[in-house]
Amino acid sequence: MADVNSDVAGRVWKIIVQPGQMVAADEPVMILESMKMEIPAVSPIDGRVSEVLVSEEEMVSEDQLVAIVEPA
């Protein structure tokens, strides 16, 4: 199991993946917005998204767990 964490404090602008979807390492899972910049939150491993723990427009803090990816 691998955690996807927010690199910055900001707002969840767009969630790109859904639970059950396959992702590659370094593939964006969602886009965060902070100080008018878009920052991707990426998967650390190849695998399947098991949970998305936030919703669009939600505020997140730096290093907050936002999704979980299971190894494929």
- Per the structure, the complete domain to which residue 67 belongs is given by 2-71
pLDDT at position 72 over 90: no
Domain at 7, CATH number: 2.40.50.100
pLDDT tens digits, 30-66: 999 999 999 999 999 999 999 999 999 999 999 999 9
Please tell me the chain's helix, strand, coil percentages from 3-state DSSP, rounded to the nearest 5.
0, 55, 45
pLDDT at position 2 over 90: yes
Identify the CA nearest to 51 among candidates 29, 23, 19, 7.
Answer: 19
Q: Supply the pTM of this predicted model.
A: 0.93
Query: In the chain, how many domains are there?
Result: 1
Residue 4 burial class via C-beta count within 10 angstroms: exposed 0-12, middle 13-18, buried 19 and up: buried
